[in-house]
Chains A and B, each alone.
Chain A
Amino acid sequence: SAVISQKPSRDICQRGTSLTIQCQVDSQVTMMFWYRQQPGQSLTLIATANQGSEATYESGFVIDKFPISRPNLTFSTLTVSNMSPEDSSIYLCSVETGPLNEQFFGPGTRLTVL
């Protein structure tokens, strides 16, 4: 298994500002993912972040709004830029690892935009 931590665990932000969420894994992993879970909704994949290459964004998500960094095999950041109340969600980091290529999830970052 993998132990994943995220910072911050929660934040309340003002409209128009940006927040960077950090994801740290206790082992080296090739693939990291960022998901969004809007209130009362399921999880939606934002992007896949591989070390050494540009993140791959899903339909409806763009790099200018959600820039991602992946400087090494244990760390990634997701920035939510120019926030609006519609960005209020839980943002989850995930990694694929282990002999069965399971996906493990971090505890999430609960973001509220006022």
Chain B
Amino acid sequence: AQSVAQPEDQVNVAEGNPLTVKCTYSVSGNPYLFWYVQYPNRGLQFLLKYITGDNLVKGSYGFEAEFNKSQTSFHLKKPSALVSDSALYFCAVYNQAGTALIFGKGTTLSVSS
């Protein structure tokens, strides 16, 4: 069965520092991986996805993610964090039918000024 794991409940980083939010996956077949962000009292927003091709995927708001097949990871990164990046981040993978998303439990990112 398809699944993703986010090992950290919370990540704290100072503004201007690089940030990483971790995600590992377990899939049958090719992984279709996603990152979403949820700001307080707002809906989920799509950040980026990996289907195939370049292992480094660039997304919205300056975020990128690196697909690593050998480590079965898809970590979200940003070179310089902003206070406004503070939010709840979800990693997700398509279900086996390729129709709906299976989400990780989420990681709260807190960026301090």
Within 8 A of A (CB), among B17-71: 34, 36, 42-46, 49, 51
Closest 6 CB pairs of A and B: A105-B44, A107-B43, A43-B103, A42-B105, A42-B103, A105-B43
Question: Are A104 and B46 CB-contacts (below 8 A) given A42-B104, A45-B102?
Answer: yes
In the complex, are the beta carbons of A107 and B42 less than 8 A apart?
A: yes
Which residues of B come within 8 Å of A, CB atoms? 34, 36, 42-46, 49, 51, 90, 95, 99-106
Closest to A98 in B: B46
Q: Find out whether the CB atom of B49 lies under 8 angstroms from the CB atom of A106.
A: no
Q: How far is the CA of A48 from the CA of B99 in the complex (A)?
A: 8
Contact between chains at B103 and A102 (CB < 8 Å): no
- Chain B nearest CB, measured from A54 CB (Å): 15
Given contacts A42-B90, A43-B90, A108-B43, whether A103 and B105 have CB atoms under 8 Å apart is: no
Q: Please report A residues at the B interface, Cβ cutoff 8 Å.
A: 4, 31, 33, 41-45, 48, 92, 94, 96, 100, 102-108
Who on chain A is nearest to B91 by CB? A42
CB pair B99–A100 under 8 Å, yes or no, is no
Q: With A42-B90, A100-B49 known to touch, is A106 a contact of B103 (CB < 8 Å)? A: no
Q: A100-B49, A102-B46, A105-B43 are in contact. Are A45 and B106 (CB under 8 A)?
A: no
Residues of A with C-beta under 8 A to B104: 42
List residues of chain A with CB within 8 A of the CB of B34. 103
**B43 touching A31, Cβ below 8 Å:** no
Inter-chain contact B106/A42, CB cutoff 8 Å: yes
Inside 8 A of B99's CB, which chain A residues have their CB?
Answer: 31, 48, 96
Contact B43 A103 (CB under 8 A): no
Q: Write the chain A residue with the least CB distance to B4.
A: A42
Q: Which residues of B contact A106 (CB under 8 A)?
A: 43
**Residue among A31, A41, A103, A108 facing the most chain B CB atoms (10 A cut-off):** A103
Closest to A6 in B: B43
Chain B nearest CB, measured from A46 CB (Å) = 10
